[in-house]
């Protein structure tokens, strides 16, 4: 597998999404739920959000991929999230876990611990979240101190590389680490997606929207290609949106507009590095 192969797979995934309009339902936080849905729609997918246990199981059954984000937990999630994850795993569906704010609260810790056995096919987070999750799952030989501060990362993407690979070795899926340069890996290959904009950190929900978009592409591609396609789409759209933005709010508007118009080729040709992991 070389970079040109990857580009072709990205193009195929994105074209398929634009053609088939796949629904990638979410169980996600209330802060950014609208931005997640609008990002999914702008890219050509379809959105549906639920909270209740049997609804989680239903969408896991009818959709090709699901997005689960633990940003704002409701009490019912104690039932909804495990049942949905179990159903997704049973059916072999793709899904994206966004381990937001790992470390805050008892239910969050329990849910994130228990997801270990469900081996989420895609995990997307900032560097601190990925390191914290790898620690929580005891996947690192030496526990690394993670410094999650609410929803913000205090570590760099390269610091999370070892944790991301460790998670992939365990899940057999992909991990997407968001930062100045995004790292995407499936444990065998590493990709770094460049571009984007500093303004992503000045709007709430860029990470969540990226997770939701990963789920859309995961309806039509492997976890690794889906996670990479989403980062490429974000970085292409973000860097172009920044050129016309006057601040964070007009940036968000421009981002969705650019994402909507971006061709599969433009997204695939966004600057990225690709390498095999030497073991």
C-beta of 204: minimal distance to a second copy in Å? 4
Residue 58 sits at φ, ψ, to 5 deg, of -65, -50
Q: Distance between CA atoms of 125 and 159, rounded to whole angstroms?
A: 13
Contact pick of 117, 152, 180, 275 for a second copy (by CB under 8 A): 152
**Cα three-residue angle 24-115-159, rounded to 5 degrees:** 90
Smallest gap from residue 107 Cβ to a second copy (A)? 6
Secondary structure tally for the chain: helices H, strands E: 11, 8
Q: What does the alpha-carbon distance between residue 118 and residue 162 come to, in Å, rounded to a whole number?
A: 21
Q: Is 173 annotated as a binding residue?
A: no
By CB under 8 A, residue 257 contacts a second copy: yes
Q: Which of residues 230-249 bind a second copy (CB under 8 A)?
A: 245-249
Options 10, 97, 101, 264; binder of a second copy; rule CB under 8 A: 101
**Residue 39: half-sphere exposure toward Cβ, Cα within 13 Å:** 29
Tell me whether residue 205 is annotated as binding.
Answer: yes
Q: Where are the alpha helices (DSSP H) in the chain?
A: 3-20, 33-42, 53-62, 77-90, 106-114, 127-136, 161-171, 206-218, 223-244, 248-261, 264-268
Instruction: Give the binding range for a second copy (CB under 8 A) out of 34-42, 121-129, 133-141, 181-189.
Output: 34-42
For residue 190, give every residue at least 6 positions away whose Cβ sits within 8 Å of its Cβ, in sequence order, or none.
Answer: 161, 183, 184, 273, 274, 275, 276, 277
Work out whether 83 is an interface residue with a second copy (CB under 8 A). no
Tell the smallest beta-carbon distance from residue 74 to a second copy (Å). Answer: 6
Q: Per CB under 8 A, which of residues 159..198 are in contact with a second copy? A: none
Q: Is 82 in the site for a second copy (CB under 8 A)?
A: no
Only one of the segments 44-52, 157-165, 187-195, 223-231 lies at the binding site for a second copy (rule: CB under 8 A); that segment is 44-52
**23 marked ligand binding residue:** no
CB 155, CB 130: distance < 8 Å = no
Say how far apart CA 130 and CA 132 lie, in whole Å.
Answer: 5
Query: Measured from the CB of residue 115, what is the shortest distance to a second copy in angstroms?
Result: 18
- Contacting a second copy (CB under 8 A), which of 10, 11, 13, 23? 23
Query: What CA–CA distance (Å, rounded) separates 233 from 260?
Result: 10
Size of the site for a second copy (CB under 8 A): 64
| Total residue count of the chain as it appears in this document | 279
Window 193-212: residues binding a second copy (CB under 8 A): 201-205
Residue nearer to a second copy on the CB measure, 185 or 252: 252
| Contacts to a second copy by CB under 8 A | 21, 23, 25, 29-35, 37-38, 41-42, 46-52, 54-55, 58-59, 62-63, 71-76, 101, 104-108, 149-152, 201-205, 245-250, 252-261
């Amino acid at each position: 597998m070389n970079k040109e192969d990857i580009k072709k797979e990205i193009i195929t995934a994105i074209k398929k999404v634009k053609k088939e309009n796949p629904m990638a339902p979410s169980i996600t936080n209330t802060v950014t739920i609208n931005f997640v849905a609008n990002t999914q729609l702008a890219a050509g997918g379809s959105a549906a959000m639920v909270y209740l246990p049997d609804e989680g199981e239903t969408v896991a059954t009818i959709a090709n991929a699901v997005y689960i984000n633990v940003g704002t937990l409701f009490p019912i999630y104690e039932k909804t999230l495990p049942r949905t994850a179990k159903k997704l795993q049973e059916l072999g569906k793709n899904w994206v876990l966004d381990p937001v704010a790992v470390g805050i609260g008892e239910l969050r810790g329990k849910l994130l611990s228990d997801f270990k056995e469900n081996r989420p096919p895609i995990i997307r987070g900032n560097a601190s979240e990925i390191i914290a999750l790898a620690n929580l799952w005891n996947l690192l030989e030496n526990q690394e101190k993670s410094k999650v501060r609410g929803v913000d990362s205090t570590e760099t993407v390269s610091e999370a590389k070892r944790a991301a690979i460790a998670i992939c070795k365990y899940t057999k899926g992909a991990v997407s680490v968001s930062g100045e340069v995004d790292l995407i890996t499936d444990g065998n290959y590493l990709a770094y997606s460049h571009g984007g904009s500093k303004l992503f950190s000045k709007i709430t929900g860029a990470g969540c929207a990226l997770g939701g978009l990963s789920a859309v592409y995961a309806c039509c591609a492997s976890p690794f290609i889906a996670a990479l396609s989403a980062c490429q789409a974000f970085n292409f759209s973000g860097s172009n949106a920044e050129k016309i933005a006057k601040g964070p709010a007009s940036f968000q508007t421009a981002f969705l507009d650019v994402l909507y118009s971006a061709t599969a080729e433009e997204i695939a040709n966004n600057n990225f590095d690709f390498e095999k992991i030497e073991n």
